[in-house]
Structure 1
Amino acid sequence: MKSTIWSSIRHYLFRCLQKKNGCEHSSEKLKNDSSFDPVIYSLESPKFHKFVLNGSNLFKGWVFYFGDKKVNQIYVYADAKPLGSCEVNLARYDVATHVPSLPAVENCGFEISVECKESYKKIIFYIKYHDNTKELFFEYDVQFIKRMSYEMSICSNNLDKLKMPDGPTVKLTQGHDNVEEYFNSILPSVLAIKDYLSFSGVGIEKANNLLDFGCGSGRILKGWYACHPEINLYGCDYNSHLVKWIKNNLPERISVFENDLTPPLDCPSSNFDLIYLISVFTHLTLDNQKRWIKEFERILRPDGILLVSLHGEFYVRNAFFHHPEKLQLFRDQGFTTTNNEGLEGSNSFGTFHSLSFAVQLFEKFELLGFFPQGNLPDRRRVFHVALSQDIYVFKLKKNSSIQHNMVAEQA
């Protein structure tokens, strides 16, 4: 079995190296099944569709180093031109609550106002550590925004017409009650998913029927609705309150239904071209994950695409920094969980997967793309769809779908 797993990973790496855009950045890490980036961050503004091409933009967010370094400053350049710098010292107790092992996280916030021009190619951010070493943080692609400005304005206008949930409803899935942040995260999440698919060789034009499994209040479905009217949109969630909210507040074109913690779904076989799960398997037991994978094999079309976010290296290090035995279990087996199994489906129950374990788990699928901590092969993503979670893009093998449906019909 292990030789099959590593054969799949080697095949994936070989395909990466053949691509023009390349995956050399991550290939050496993947050989050792380790891809940990200790720079943990979130850029909260400006989102791409809110960026001012000619004028001042306030860049704000947080960043810390998960290790023995401390991020002290951020330096900003437009191409090679210095634009300014700022200290990384603003209070972010909301972030520190989730990272109790690092006291420095309490003051990991930053804000810097940057004068921007549409002639800039990229706005480039560097971080400087307490020991005066520097490294590239991320690049904000101004020309991409300029090229996409018309399309994003249409999407934004369409999105403005949709109703947003209130703070308590937002908190059920996002861990915060900030409706504005919820709203502003919608389009970047759709762009992120399209990026992951594109880097995996999958065009969104192939997705006629899309299922958001664990759709919450329809946050990402709203983005697809606003930007891709040609896609048939479906969503499901086991929270009846959230499903009811969507049915009562969003257009009928977004078709949603309630599901249980275990299969099946009330869906015909070979029905969907694309299914994605954002922060879903991260809170389900391994047995239920296996059950749902079989269900996805049934409802996906041959060559259908499955995009999944999973807790990887950062999450397991953070969750078990006081429990070396749990870390060792993860190293040995590639999988572990928190101990409170009775709270399955809630944020207090977590699961953690290594790359090799995930490939084994999805054995009827071909791995098309692996994005450790949500980053792209050649750079850190500016905005994530699931903060620092590993993103996998799988393709259902044709014979898997056919065999599964033949067995179902015989039963």
Structure 2
Amino acid sequence: MKKIIIKRFLTKLNLLPLIEQVNFYRQMFKNRKENKQFKLENPDVKLPPDFYMYETFQLNYKKFYTNGLPTAQWIYDHVNEFKTLEQANILDWGCGNSRILRHLPTVAGDTNKYFGCDYNTKYIKWCQDNLEGIDFKLNQLTPPLPYDHEKFDLIYGISIFTHLSLEQHHSWFKELQSVLKPNGILFLTTHGNAHKFKLTTREQKEYEAGNLVIHDFKKEGNRLFSAYQPESFMKNITQEYGLKLLKHIPGKTENNQKPQQDVWLFQKS
């Protein structure tokens, strides 16, 4: 909660962009030797520019590249409990620099078609220029998506709703439901109870009442714009848009690690 108070103070002083630059150069300096070694050992691995990587993950080349494979496997394993992914259309909604999506064909197989979209023009341009076998398209911060009605068997969005307003929650759930095939699966992660400690006392009361809580330190869609989703909020809004809950895994905080996000699997009715 103290961090939130400090962020609000820095926002009023318009100092957050400066803090972001300082953190970027701090990570660059901290990881310089390890990153150089990774490039020497993996000259053929294509990596996005440093600041793109910092904005979407962290500035560590090895972790950026190798972490994506087990995450892709993690998504596949959860979905495979309910749906076999063969000759399927799969969309990474908010793919960023494709940290996860670039590995998914290795995990899920080459009978599927893979798609990635993001509202960040720079990220999509880098993915289109550097990653083959995946169809990348630019979308806007608001719907619609550049895809046909009922196109996808699986859509996943990792920490995307965590940066959207209440209005955009409604807009995007309606759109995602539209581009899902009947019985298609929507896989999402959100800020649940494990992240509640980041809220002020007043905000925690709002959260406990089942209301979405927003921290708008920067513009919507940016990682410093944060949304916190109570369990009841997620269940109510997804039911409103014709999505059936298949599985919910509350996030945990273990061994003093960063709090995990909640995992949700929904199916189009």
TM-score band, normalised by shorter chain: 0.7 to 0.9
Q: Which has the larger radius of gyration?
A: 1
Shift in Å at residue 194 of structure 1? Answer: 2.0
Distance 1:311 1:183 in 2: 24
Q: Does 1:312 align with 2:195?
A: no
Of Structure 1 and Structure 2, which has the larger fraction of its residues in strand?
1
Give the corresponding residue for 1:239. Answer: 120
Q: What residue in structure 1 maps to residue 19 of structure 2? A: none
CA 1:282–1:220: 2 relative to 1, 3 Å: same
Corresponding residue for residue 251 of structure 2: 373
Matched, 1:267 2:147: yes
Q: State the partner residue of 1:391.
A: 263
Closer, same or farther in 2 for the Cα pair 1:232/1:265, shift >3 Å? same
Aligned to 1:37: none
Secondary structure of 2:117 counterpart: strand
Distance 1:338 1:168 in 2: 23
Asked if 2 retains the 8 angstrom alpha-carbon contact of 1:207 and 1:273, the reply is: no
Given that 1:212 and 1:276 are in contact with CA atoms closer than 8 Å, whether structure 2 keeps it comes out as yes
Kindly state the Cα deviation for residue 274 of structure 1 after the two structures are TM-superposed.
0.2
Asked if 1:347 corresponds to 2:223, the answer is yes
User: What code does the residue aligned with 1:389 have?
Assistant: Q
1:262, CA displacement in angstroms? 0.5
The structural deviation recorded for 1:336 is: 1.1
Taking the TM superposition and a 5 Å limit, the aligned residue runs for 1:279-358 are 279-317=159-197, 319-320=198-199, 323-340=200-217, 343-358=219-234
Deviation at 1:339, TM superposition (A): 4.3
User: CA–CA distance in 1 between the matches of 2:66 and 2:259?
Assistant: 15
Partners of 2:63 and 2:136 in 1: CA distance? 24
1:169 corresponding residue in structure 2: 52
Partner of 2:20: none
How far off is 1:334 after superposition?
A: 3.8
Does the 8 A contact of 1:186 with 1:219 survive in 2?
Answer: yes
1:186 aligns with 2:68: yes
The answer as to whether partners of 1:302 and 1:396 remain within 8 angstroms in 2 is yes
Contact 2:48 2:97 in 1 (8 A): yes
Aligned counterparts of 1:207 and 1:278: Cα–Cα separation in 2: 23
Equivalenced residues, count: 225
Whole-Å separation in 2 of the counterparts to 1:315 and 1:374: 9
Report the Cα distance in structure 1 between the residues aligned to 2:252 and 2:188, rounded to whole angstroms.
11
Q: 1:374 to 1:367 in 2, by over 3 A?
A: farther
Contact persistence 1:305–1:394 (CA under 8 A) = yes
Deviation string 1:177-227 (CA, Å, 9 cap, x unpaired) is: 1111101101110121123224xx323425610000000011111111333
Taking the aligned partners of 2:181 and 2:252, their CA distance within structure 1 comes to 26
Residue aligned with 2:228, SS? strand
**Equivalent residues in 2 for 1:136-147, closer than 5 Å:** none
Instruction: Check conservation: 2:89, 2:113, Cα contact below 8 A.
Output: yes
- Cα distance in structure 2, aligned partners of 1:302 and 1:271: 10
Per-residue CA deviations over 1:261-307 (Å, capped at 9, x if unaligned) read 10111111110000000011000101111111111111110011000
Match of 2:129 in 1: 248
Q: Give the unaligned 5+ runs of structure 1.
A: 1-96, 98-158, 398-411
Q: Distance in 1 between matches of 2:262 and 2:87?
A: 22
Task: State the shift of 1:172 in Å.
Answer: 1.9
Q: RMSD over aligned Cα, in angstroms?
A: 2.5
Please identify which structure carries the higher helix content. Answer: 2
* Unmatched runs of 5 consecutive residues or more in structure 2: 1-22, 24-41
Q: Distance in 2 between matches of 1:374 and 1:395?
A: 24
Whole-angstrom distance in 2 between the partners of 1:389 and 1:290: 20
Identity %: 29
Question: What is the distance in 1 between the residues matched to 2:76 and 2:84?
Answer: 7
Quote the residue 1:212 is aligned against.
92
Q: TM-score, normalised by structure 1?
A: 0.51
Structure 2: distance between partners of 1:358 and 1:206: 29
Per the normalisation by structure 2, the TM-score is: 0.77
